[in-house]
Structure 1
């Protein structure tokens, strides 16, 4: 059985059919991403049509696992997979601080939402892009310095 606080949260995301009869009910949904990794290149700031400036950088996350017959023992090979994420920061204060202080190799914790979009490249080919739109960036590196 769920505790009262947990039950309230659960009810916000799940609606019974009887709640929907005769009225429009907007259900809540969730799109949250949490990443912990290292920056792949110095951030760049872009502006489209003179408005909506955005700071963009890549973030690498690593997944490691042991392979072989005895995975729990010291033997076996260690495999690693690196995944690269495109991070976009639109919030004015966060965007500027991120552009000013983040550099290649910085260790960051990023919270945000997943966004899918399309764009046309230089060769007029339509491409799809997946981006993390950051709501929060926490600096974890000791070596964060202001750019010259």
Structure 2
């Protein structure tokens, strides 16, 4: 069993269009503002209440950053998985500042577009991956869903009777 887990799962709507920057070697990095809301009914007044949380999301995964750039816009509904990371910097006055972000790293993270309008567009697989889940070990699932073995071939499940 792992000593600790750092995993964030969010389902929400973008509060603005993705902001795309490029690293020094030209790879895209996408920044998103994602809103998640919860609603409840106040026990005393019966009034419907809502609380919205805003999350800063940074995508370092090149394929997912390209998908964000091409397909996401303000209001898009997305599901994502990433990790919490806090970074520190100094402002111009020398004051230390901190921010906590949900980060989708190069070989970790998942992004799924959930808008109905997205389903009516051409098959996303013809443009690139809209969902990726990679543990960084070089193995994982292929596009057809077959698991890959360390040798690169699809695992053989033909002998399983069920």
Q: Do the structures match in fold with TM over 0.5?
A: yes
Name the stretch that deviates more: 124-133 or 85-94: 124-133
Correspondence 1:45 to 2:45: no
Q: Does the 8 A contact of 2:15 with 2:34 survive in 1?
A: yes
Once the 2 structures are TM-superposed, how far is the Cα of residue 65 of structure 1 from its aligned partner? 1.3
Aligned length: 116
Q: In the alignment, which residue of structure 2 is the partner of 1:36? A: 11
Structure with more relative contact order (C-alpha pairs < 8 Å, separation 6 or more): 1
RMSD of the TM alignment (CA)? 2.2
Gaps of at least 5 residues in structure 2 are: 122-162
Correspondence 1:136 to 2:110: yes
TM-score normalised to structure 2 length: 0.64
TM-score normalised to structure 1 length: 0.69
Once the 2 structures are TM-superposed, how far is the Cα of residue 122 of structure 1 from its aligned partner? 5.0
Once the 2 structures are TM-superposed, how far is the Cα of residue 98 of structure 1 from its aligned partner? 1.2
Alpha-carbon distance change, 128 to 44 in structure 1, aligned in 2, over 3 angstroms: same
Q: Does the 8 A contact of 1:40 with 1:104 survive in 2?
A: yes
Q: Deviations over 1:12-36 (max 9, x none)?
A: 23xxxxxxxxxxxxxx421000000
- CA distance in structure 2 between the partners assigned to 1:48 and 1:120 by the alignment: 21
Once the 2 structures are TM-superposed, how far is the Cα of residue 80 of structure 1 from its aligned partner? 0.6
Alpha-carbon distance change, 126 to 47 in structure 1, aligned in 2, over 3 angstroms: farther
Mapping for residues 110-129 of structure 1, pairs under 5 Å: 110-129=80-99
Name the stretch that deviates more: 123-132 or 54-63: 123-132
Q: In the alignment, which residue of structure 2 is the partner of 1:80? A: 50
Higher strand share: 1
- CA distance in structure 2 between the partners assigned to 1:123 and 1:52 by the alignment: 31
Which one of the candidate residues 30, 45, 51 is aligned to 1:55?
Answer: 30
| Structure of higher CA gyration radius | 1
Q: Does the 8 A contact of 1:106 with 1:143 survive in 2?
A: no
Higher helix share: 1
- CA distance in structure 2 between the partners assigned to 1:50 and 1:118 by the alignment: 23
Q: Does the 8 A contact of 2:27 with 2:62 survive in 1?
A: no
